[in-house]
Amino acid sequence: MPETASPRLPFWDQCVQELRVRQSRFRLRRHPCSPFIYVREMVAGRKVGEFSLKPKLWSNRDDIEEARDLCIQGHRRGAWPLAPAKEPPASAGGWPALAEACFADIKLRICKEGSRAHAINDLRKRIAMFRGPVEAKRLQVWVQEHDPRLQLV
């Protein structure tokens, strides 16, 4: 066997390598404790965010290919492509669905994991107390409950 010949890379590794070579802003990741594909956003060689593409599995070739294409599309646009329209709006799922949407936003905006965990846990604790339908008026009342300059919660 010639020295230049090497075993063929698995499809996952091919896609990861392709995004790295393209210097894509979005890169595929997998975590050992999760079966789902993760995407890491890189700017100037630094990680600025990471999120899951649940329910896409890193063991499924079609899911890997679709995730790679989304990464390329997001790199070209300069932002992650919008979520598919098949997801229900937050108001249809009640407070838990709104909380999950907030968690996803926090994960994209807050880079430091410790700060992100504190924000998510605090929000989880507060939204757990909400009952009834999701309404803008209820959110406004909650936001105006305390003046942070006068009283720390």
Give the model confidence (pLDDT) of 33-48 as tens digits.
888 888 888 888 788 8
The residues that bridge with 51 in the sheet, in sequence order, are 39
Considering the domain architecture, whether residues 77 and 92 belong to the same structural domain is answered as no
Residue 67 and residue 134 share a domain: no
Residue 117 CB: number of other CB atoms within 10 A? 12
Taking only the tens place, the pLDDT of each residue in 58-82 is 888 898 999 999 989 888 888 887 6
Same-domain check for residues 80 and 124: no
From 52, 68, 85, the end of a domain falls on: 85
The neighbouring-strand residues paired with 57 are 36
Mean pLDDT calculated for residue range 93-107: 77
Domains of the chain: total: 2
* 20 & 53 share domain: yes
Its domain, for residue 132, covers 88-153
pTM (2 d.p.): 0.49
Number of separate helices (H) and strands (E) present in the chain: 5, 3
Task: At 29, list the tokens.
Answer: 């990741």
Both 96 and 80 in one domain: the answer is: no
The 3-state DSSP class for residue 35 equals coil
Per-residue confidence (pLDDT) for residue 3, from 0 to 100: 43
